[in-house]
Structure 1
Amino acid sequence: MTPKALINAFRIDHTGKGVALSVDEFATSIPSTGDGEYIWVHLDWMEPGVAAWLSRIVGLDASIVDALVTRATRPSVLFYDDGYSMNLRGVNLNNESDPADMISVRIWCSEKLVITLRNKRLYAFDDIRASIEANTAPPVSDAFVLTVAERLVFRIDDEIHTRDEKFDILEDLIDDTPISECKTLPLRMEIMDVRHRLSRLRRHIAPQRDALIKFVTEKPGWSDKTHKRRARTLTDRVTRLVEELDSLRERTQIANDSLMAIESERMNRTMYWLTVIAGLFLPISFVTGLLGINVGGIPAANSSWGFWGVSLILAAVVAFEVWLFKKLRLI
């Protein structure tokens, strides 16, 4: 394992105090731990040598190593005799990044060792390091995993709440859009973008909910019953987030239907008035077309008042049509 692959490592005791460890201490073996202590190793799984270190030094099975360093992952949890592996997702809050491009977090946890892997910065681990500096780190490995999961879900919750507030503003814009103005296309494009982002978030959060449910129901043993209650509470929170995502997606569909209705109404009005205008001009178009044929016998063809006479007749026809349309409530 190269020095660049190791982001940080700490030996943490049951009081929450942590001591930093160097990469040299992991060259040939995992450092020893005393009673009530465990080691947290944080790695960049994209760096070379990580898979080999996990296999040779940590002694993990090849299937576990593959689950921790493979590129394509989905949230899941797998239990083994000496520990469990967990894959989770967190929103991408790095600069010039889309939060919906969620970052994969891979975890191996045993009683004395927690290994976390990621390929981009996640603020959840900044929270853990801050707690170590304050001597309030999670006292046992199970609590550490739960804390990471809680910090990931906390920021997912913030992101969904932000999306919800932005969509409230978008709905107000839709409600204020006059039928007579053609402003629906930009709003529809924005709704499509929101729906696409929500779908990408849900694609990872729904499996994350299932993984946490499995974590609660199938974990062989808990170091403390409070940890199981924390896991259950976290599962309920993620379930609520999935429901909020589904609700938001339904709202985007309703908003899109509203814009489609506005466009349809505007088009219907336009077609209606075109039909009315065509109906008004149809009789006079017929008359002018009939008088315009190149044959003899056209009445008043050589008369000086012929044009004005025909114009007055056509004006009378139009006036009669307007009166008739109003009587029939067509206009």
Structure 2
Amino acid sequence: MDGTPKQPSDRAQHNGLIGVGAVLVFDGDGGMKRYEPSESLPVVPPRGFKLVVGNSKAPEFKLWLRGELGEFNSGLLTSPTSRARCTVMDDRALVMLRVVRPGAAPHDVGRQFLTLWIEQGRVIIASELNILDFLGMSKWEQPVHAPVSPADLIARLALRATDRLEPLIEMLGDRLDEVEETLITHRTEKAQDNLEHLRRTLINFRRLVWPQRDALTTLEIEDLSFFSDRDRLRLRDAAMRTARIGDELQALSERAVLVHEEIVDDRAEQMNRTMLLLAAVTVVFSPLTLISGMLGMNVSGIPLADSGGAFWIVCGILVVLASGLVWWMRKSHLF
């Protein structure tokens, strides 16, 4: 190692993951053009808006944010957060979303944070997430495929975040089915362990989804002057789809509760069977113990005390008595 800083890849530079970031200009009619940060400031069409994307950990991007938004607002954009939210300040909005990392498993969901600054004619995104790949910018290069407004862009971000969640939700449903199948085979201990892990995962997913829905709903109902009715409809659609994911999680949680109750009932039934078996053994052996105890007293007058076959006679009587008690309990459906 010679101490030379590692140069970023061409892909990282192309996607605005270093330095000031990438700059995209949307014309408001579905068209888009990319500019390099070093180029002169692009002219934004009257109906369009500008998107600036940068890495929230890059010092150059933080410096640029401080110059554009001030110390306080730039700190909000780059500070880590634990949950999604939406904050409106005058005619501007700060939206924080959480996105699961690609290839995440339900039990190990790595969350990537996405912070957006929204104002008239401009959107700034600060995140370590590869935003341009995440949104599929290659499709935007075709006519009329790019977002037409800041709200449209945010709705697409939320929908793509939901797209990453849906396969994980399906996997959780499949795992819950496996737990139910395990329970049917009476492997209660294994089912209990799997169910506890699954319920913890569901709780984590709900913490991710519901605040996201609330953030989108808040942005939709806020009185931002540059949001049209179409923009609010797009945000409502994104919020409803996120809410649908939340409803699926709620349904899985309710199923998990029912499965837990089945496990509790199964254990209670097993306990009842064990107690019934112990009670039956007690009923059968109590009179046998009484008889054998009385015959074992060290006093005179014990029947058959001087008989050579007394032991086998007593054993036969005890076997007949035990068999009679078992037959009686079975006939009375007590065992």
| TM-score of the pair, normalised by structure 2 | 0.82
**Is 1:254 aligned with 2:258?**
yes
Please list, as runs of the form range in 1=range in 2, the aligned pairs for 1:38-57 lying within 5 A after superposition.
38-56=49-67
1:11 corresponds, among 24, 28, 35, to 24
Cα deviation digits, residues 172-216 of structure 1 (max 9, x gap): 444x33xxx4x0111122222221111111112212222111111
Is this contact kept in 2: 1:222–1:228, CA < 8 A?
no
The aligned amino acid for 1:103 is: Q
> What is the aligned partner in structure 2 of residue 129 from structure 1?
137
Please list, as runs of the form range in 1=range in 2, the aligned pairs for 1:228-239 lying within 5 A after superposition.
228-239=232-243
Is this contact kept in 2: 1:12–1:18, CA < 8 A?
yes
> What secondary structure is seen at the aligned counterpart in 2 of 1:155?
helix
Aligned length: 318
CA shift for structure 1 position 251 = 0.9
> What is the aligned partner in structure 1 of residue 98 from structure 2?
89
Cα distance in 2 for partners of 1:31, 1:270 equals 80
**Is 1:303 aligned with 2:307?**
yes
Cα distance in 2 for partners of 1:48, 1:201 equals 32
Please list, as runs of the form range in 1=range in 2, the aligned pairs for 1:70-85 lying within 5 A after superposition.
70-81=79-90, 83-85=92-94
Cα 1:141–1:213 shift into 2, 3 Å:
closer
2:160 corresponds, among 126, 151, 157, to 151
> What is the aligned partner in structure 1 of residue 332 from structure 2?
328
Cα 1:228–1:95 shift into 2, 3 Å:
closer
Is this contact kept in 1: 2:151–2:232, CA < 8 A?
no
Is this contact kept in 1: 2:112–2:129, CA < 8 A?
yes
The aligned amino acid for 1:310 is: V
1:138 corresponds, among 147, 154, 162, to 147
The aligned amino acid for 1:130 is: S
> What secondary structure is seen at the aligned counterpart in 2 of 1:303?
coil
CA shift for structure 1 position 255 = 0.8
> What is the aligned partner in structure 2 of residue 31 from structure 1?
41
Cα distance in 2 for partners of 1:153, 1:75 equals 14
Is this contact kept in 2: 1:8–1:41, CA < 8 A?
yes
Cα deviation digits, residues 213-241 of structure 1 (max 9, x gap): 11111132245432111112222222232
Cα deviation digits, residues 235-263 of structure 1 (max 9, x gap): 22222322222221111000110121112
CA shift for structure 1 position 66 = 2.7
> What is the aligned partner in structure 2 of residue 202 from structure 1?
206
Please list, as runs of the form range in 1=range in 2, the aligned pairs for 1:173-212 lying within 5 A after superposition.
173-174=182-183, 176-177=184-185, 181=186, 183-212=187-216
Cα distance in 2 for partners of 1:293, 1:21 equals 107
> What secondary structure is seen at the aligned counterpart in 2 of 1:329?
coil
Cα 1:313–1:142 shift into 2, 3 Å:
closer
Cα 1:328–1:86 shift into 2, 3 Å:
same
The aligned amino acid for 1:46 is: K
Cα 1:96–1:156 shift into 2, 3 Å:
closer
Is this contact kept in 2: 1:6–1:41, CA < 8 A?
no
Is this contact kept in 1: 2:30–2:148, CA < 8 A?
yes
Cα 1:295–1:24 shift into 2, 3 Å:
farther
Cα distance in 1 for partners of 2:259, 2:20 equals 45
Cα deviation digits, residues 108-131 of structure 1 (max 9, x gap): 122333221223457x84234232
Cα 1:115–1:307 shift into 2, 3 Å:
same
> What secondary structure is seen at the aligned counterpart in 2 of 1:138?
coil
| Structure 2 spans left out of the alignment, 5+ residues | 1-7
Is this contact kept in 1: 2:195–2:256, CA < 8 A?
yes
Cα distance in 1 for partners of 2:41, 2:73 equals 21
Is this contact kept in 1: 2:56–2:78, CA < 8 A?
yes
| Structure 1 spans left out of the alignment, 5+ residues | none
Q: CA RMSD in A?
A: 2.9
Is this contact kept in 2: 1:92–1:98, CA < 8 A?
no
> What is the aligned partner in structure 2 of residue 68 from structure 1?
77
Cα deviation digits, residues 134-181 of structure 1 (max 9, x gap): 45321333322221122212333443244334434543444x33xxx4
Is this contact kept in 1: 2:139–2:146, CA < 8 A?
yes
| TM-score of the pair, normalised by structure 1 | 0.83
Cα distance in 2 for partners of 1:171, 1:165 equals 10
Identity in percent = 24
> What is the aligned partner in structure 1 of residue 246 from structure 2?
242
Cα distance in 2 for partners of 1:151, 1:16 equals 18
